[in-house]
Amino acid sequence: MIDGSKIRAQFPALHQKVNGKDLIYFDNAASSQKPQVVLDAISNYYHYDNANVHRGVHYLSQKATDKFENTRKSVQAFINAKNSCEIIFTKGATDSINLVANGYRSILNKGDEIIISQMEHHSNIVPWQICCEISGAELKIIPMLDDGDLDMEAFENLLSEKTKLVAITHISNSLGTINPVEKIINKTHAAGAKILIDGAQAAPHTFVDVQALDVDYYCFSAQKMYGPTGVGVLYGKKNLLTTLPPYQSGGEMIKEVSLKKTTYADLPHKFEAGTPNIAGVVAFKSALDFITDLGIENIAKHEDDLLKYAIEKLSEISDIQFIGKAKKRAALVSFNIEGLHPYDMGVLLDKMGIAIRTGHHCAQPIMEHYKISGTARMSFAIYNTKQEIDSCITAIKKAQIMLG
């Protein structure tokens, strides 16, 4: 069992007043707060270890390099990757997707197809649009059903020998839908295509085993899993990353440079040009240890309890409409209340010290599907409590009276 108050005590940012009220933070799907161990790791790095990685023979450079590479090993273990060279550090999930999409610009030709879905975050839409524009490939879209599930029948009909890549979110950041990724991966492979999964919402809440999934590329962000901003991961199968063209170029990613021709470094360095976010990567290990120590299945259970409780309590609000009622859902709930614009609700709740997210959640095609401009979203993390949900619902009812 998880002791909520003990965990909460480890997050300094949660212990402050906002507009004179105790902060209640329900915007975890956008970014989670950071525990003291992560803050200490950032500070310790700059106090004692700071040097550039992979370059110097001197003491500090070795120390910084060892710590940087230790995080790579932690990530490898966290997602059960076969090789540590299959873990590429990026700026975030967005950057990871761009890395792959950039490579596919020169892999794809006219007549090839990429499949994404209607429920993607803009990060998993726009890079593919640009990739298709440049390569001449065509972008196909899996539609959504009204409950927030993907239309799997439509997906199977879209797959063909023209399909080269399928890029799908594991968990929707707007609806909470958990997509049947095992099935999607199997069908994609059966059609002879490769698959990228956007795991930005899944990595903090579910155990991801990239070997068991047999996924080709898997992307996520440290900042949504109690880690620092500006750090992301691209997992890719070794044989695929070996042939994928480099992304950014410069120092660190080369083997030999002459002014006529350059040869590239081996994995993973081929995709890590320039000086990376060393402090962030080093501190990310502390975030992974934090999750592993608690047990990701315990985290998922706690958040699932909160989700069920929130849905039950929100259902008592008159004129509430839930957006997304997928059969399998993760720790967030999106809703609208008739006569109450989500933006106004967000502003009023903020005045009461409560942070929720309002708007289109970087997923405008979903809003288009439901013919709405946005939703209010509560998303949960390990430090949230049922009392906070009660306070939030009381606040929503107050807002309803004030604006009604």
Ligand X SMILES: *Cc1c(COP(=O)(O)O)cnc(C)c1O
Pick 112 or 198: Cβ nearer ligand X: 198
Between the alpha carbon of residue 25 and those of residues 110, 148, 284, the distances in Å are 47, 25, 21
Considering only 121-129, 203-211, 307-315, 322-330, which stretch makes contact with ligand X by CB under 6 A? 121-129
User: Quick one: 42 or 340, whose CB is closer to ligand X?
Assistant: 42
State the angle between helix axes of 126-135 and 93-107 in degrees (0 to 180), rounded to the nearest 10: 10
Q: How far apart are CA 364 and CA 173, in angstroms?
A: 12
Smaller CB distance to ligand X: residue 255 or 328? Answer: 328
Q: Which of residues 69-108 bind ligand X (CB under 6 A)?
A: 92-94
CA 399 to the chain's CA centroid: 31
Beta partners for residue 249, in sequence order: none
Interacting residues of 44 by C-beta distance below 8 A, sequence separation 6+: none
Give the DSSP per-residue string, 85-148: GGEEEESSHHHHHHHHHHHHHHH--TT-EEEEETT--GGGTHHHHHHHHHH--EEEEEPBPTTS
Give the one residue of 34, 67, 121, 140 binding ligand X; rule: CB under 6 A: 121
Count the site residues for ligand X by CB under 6 A.
15
- The CB-of-300 to ligand X minimum distance in angstroms stands at 17
Residue positions annotated with a catalytic role: 362
Instruction: Report the interhelical angle of 278-294 vs 59-78 (nearest 10°).
Output: 40
Range 123-142, binding ligand X (CB under 6 A)? 123-124
Does 198 help bind ligand X (rule: CB under 6 A)?
yes
Task: Name which of 257, 275, 222 is nearest 35 in CA terms.
Answer: 222
Is 337 or 363 the residue whose CB approaches ligand X more closely? 363
Stretch that binds ligand X, among 182-190, 193-201, 276-284, 336-344 (CB under 6 A): 193-201
Nearest to 317 by CA among 390, 257, 230, 226: 390
Binding residues among 324-383 for ligand X as defined by CB under 6 A:
none
Q: Which stretch binds ligand X (CB under 6 A): 58-66, 195-203, 300-308, 309-317?
A: 195-203
Shortest distance in whole angstroms from residue 94 CB to ligand X: 3
Tell me how far, at minimum, the Cβ of 363 lies from ligand X, in Å.
8
Whole-angstrom distance, CA of residue 167 vs CA of residue 216: 10
Distance CA 396, CA 151 (A): 33
Nearer to ligand X, 90 or 391 (CB): 90
Q: Which of positions 200-259 make contact with ligand X (CB under 6 A)? A: 200-201, 221, 223-224, 232
User: Which residues of this protein are in contact with ligand X, per CB under 6 A?
Assistant: 92-94, 121, 123-124, 169, 173, 198, 200-201, 221, 223-224, 232
